[in-house]
A and B are shown apart, each in its own frame.
Chain A
Amino acid sequence: MFANLDFDVIRRALPYLFFEGMRFTLTLTALAALGGLVFGTALALMRLSGHKILGRIAGVYVDFMRSLPLVLVIFWFYFLVPYIGQWVTGASRPISVGAFASSLITFIMFEAAYFSEIMRAGIQSISRGQPAAASALGLTYAQTMRYVVLPQAFRNMLPVLITQTIVLFQDTSLVYVLSITDFLGAASKVAQRDGRLVEMYLFAAVVYFTISCIASFGVRRLQARIAIIR
């Protein structure tokens, strides 16, 4: 069955696949991870603040996001964001945000739920003596978090955060429901155009697999190094 496969189609499509598709995928992954980390850390701080209402809001948000399939969130968000934008700004017509912005916001909000749980575990792993020592030196609560607790939580959780980002990297392929040209979207377009489905999807799988594998390997190395520092 492999006899009449034409792998040259891949070579010809490489610039398109990587400069369009992979660039989009990596940009989305990086921005969503960054945004998700910031928003997720805020959620974690809300949950650990001891403030009843704030903690509750964050808890409900996290549970809600984690009980929905991502593809549904992407889909709904794409259709809802224009109307939410209209409602917030009081505009007369739905605000068009574009597929990229819509998918980025979706991923940030979705990933924040997962990153917040990771950061929460990270913050809780810091012994109580650390914030006590920081307070004793006169640092405020915000400074204690900013300079003492969060850097340590982040460092301790870095392997888990990267692992979650690898999952995110794979999940970004779900933007195909918005007909966006991410890496998979690009591969799929070439596949349809040239009628080379097997070659293109095989190649896409190999690329996702390779990148994820290398990243996972990096995480294991990192874990070993962090274990030595601690």
Chain B
Amino acid sequence: MIEISHVNKWYSPSFQVLTDCTTSVTKGEVVVVCGPSGSGKSTLIKCVNALEPFQSGDISVDGTKVNDPKTNLPKLRSRVGMVFQHFELFPHLKIIDNLCLAQQKVLDRSRDKAMAKGMQLLERVGLKEQAQKFPANLSGGQQQRVAIARALAMDPIVMLFDEPTSALDPEMVSEVLDVMVDLAHEGMTMMVVTHEMGFARKVANRVIFMDRGEIVEDAAKEDFFGKPRSDRAQKFLSKILSH
């Protein structure tokens, strides 16, 4: 579903963020990406839907090359759901309109259809009653669930998550993770940057460990938690598991 091969990216000639990153996510697979701060996780995941350009290598999503200038990027992105660390709901729109905007403008759905789909997804994430409120009136956990629903409203074939719970108060983390776990169980293809190792243990098929722009480890979950091969991954794991 996602093929990443030999991707290199520089922010400036002297600063390489991604070095020869190669991996893939197959249909229905859940891949967790972890690694220390600044290791390039966000950058890599943003390259997948071309929110960030890269200088060499290839990425394709469902057979479409994202770095091909001929690719219709808006169309490709509409099929790739993305959830951000800071939710990024549109503050000037009501919750339901946050869910309807792209459905109507990108997929050309009628207002009625978009509303129906939106309400159905809000119900699914347990926020039907909030449909007429504005984002600022919701808690962080609620906002992130809306953000997930907003992405799902586009009927994506893949979902990308960039640290979806790290900006949340601890008591709100699980309500968001629950939604994600359900999604994984339904067979959604997911690439998730997170440090929630509980989530990784529960639903991940594979875990990717990044450090300084490189994919240091790319292993099945059992192998990763059993015996990470690299020193750096071991150190990282003991650090985040110790608190």
CB-defined interface of B73-84 with A at 8 Å, one 1/0 digit per residue? 111111111101
User: Contact partner of A152 among B77, B91, B102, B151, CB < 8 A?
Assistant: B91
> A230 contacts B91, CB within 8 Å?
yes
Main secondary structure, interface of A, reads helix
User: Chain A interface (Cβ within 8 Å of chain B)?
Assistant: 127, 129-130, 132-140, 143, 147-148, 151-152, 155, 229-230
The reply on B62 being an interface residue by CB < 8 A is: no
- Compute how far the CA of A148 lies from the CA of B135 in the bound complex, rounded to whole angstroms: 14
A138/B92 contact (C-beta < 8 A), A147-B101, A147-B105, A230-B136 known: no
- Compute how far the CA of A137 lies from the CA of B86 in the bound complex, rounded to whole angstroms: 16
Interface residues of B in 151-183 (CB under 8 A from A): 151, 154
A135/B51 contact (C-beta < 8 A), A140-B74, A230-B91 known: yes
A129/B86 contact (C-beta < 8 A), A136-B51, A147-B101, A147-B105 known: yes
Write the chain A residue with the least CB distance to B77.
A138
- Compute how far the CA of A137 lies from the CA of B92 in the bound complex, rounded to whole angstroms: 17
The reply on B194 being an interface residue by CB < 8 A is: no
> A133 contacts B77, CB within 8 Å?
no
Closest 9 CB pairs of A and B: A138-B78, A133-B88, A137-B102, A136-B82, A138-B106, A129-B88, A138-B77, A138-B74, A140-B74
> A132 contacts B78, CB within 8 Å?
no
Question: Shortest distance in angstroms between B193's beta carbon and chain A's nearest beta carbon?
Answer: 14
> B154 contacts A137, CB within 8 Å?
yes
Interface residues on B, range: 20 to 34
- Please, which residues of chain B bring their CB within 8 A of the CB of A151? 92
- Compute how far the CA of A127 lies from the CA of B77 in the bound complex, rounded to whole angstroms: 20
Interface residues of B in 36-81 (CB under 8 A from A): 46, 49, 51, 73-81
Write the chain A residue with the least CB distance to B107.
A138
Question: Shortest distance in angstroms between A155's beta carbon and chain B's nearest beta carbon?
Answer: 6
- Please, which residues of chain B bring their CB within 8 A of the CB of A139? 74, 101-102, 105-106
The reply on B90 being an interface residue by CB < 8 A is: yes
- Compute how far the CA of A223 lies from the CA of B90 in the bound complex, rounded to whole angstroms: 20
A137/B150 contact (C-beta < 8 A), A132-B51, A147-B101, A147-B105 known: yes
Write the chain A residue with the least CB distance to B88.
A133
Question: Shortest distance in angstroms between B16's beta carbon and chain A's nearest beta carbon?
Answer: 22
- Compute how far the CA of A155 lies from the CA of B89 in the bound complex, rounded to whole angstroms: 16
Write the chain B residue with the least CB distance to A151.
B92
Complex A-B: 30 CB contacts under 8 Å: A129-B84, A129-B86, A129-B88, A130-B88, A132-B51, A132-B84, A132-B88, A133-B89, A134-B90, A136-B49, A136-B84, A137-B78, A137-B102, A137-B106, A137-B150, A138-B74, A138-B76, A138-B106, A138-B154, A139-B74, A139-B101, A139-B106, A140-B74, A143-B105, A147-B101, A147-B105, A148-B101, A152-B91, A152-B92, A230-B136
- Compute how far the CA of A76 lies from the CA of B225 in the bound complex, rounded to whole angstroms: 77
User: Contact partner of B90 among A135, A140, A148, CB < 8 A?
Assistant: A148
A130/B90 contact (C-beta < 8 A), A136-B49, A137-B106, A139-B105 known: yes
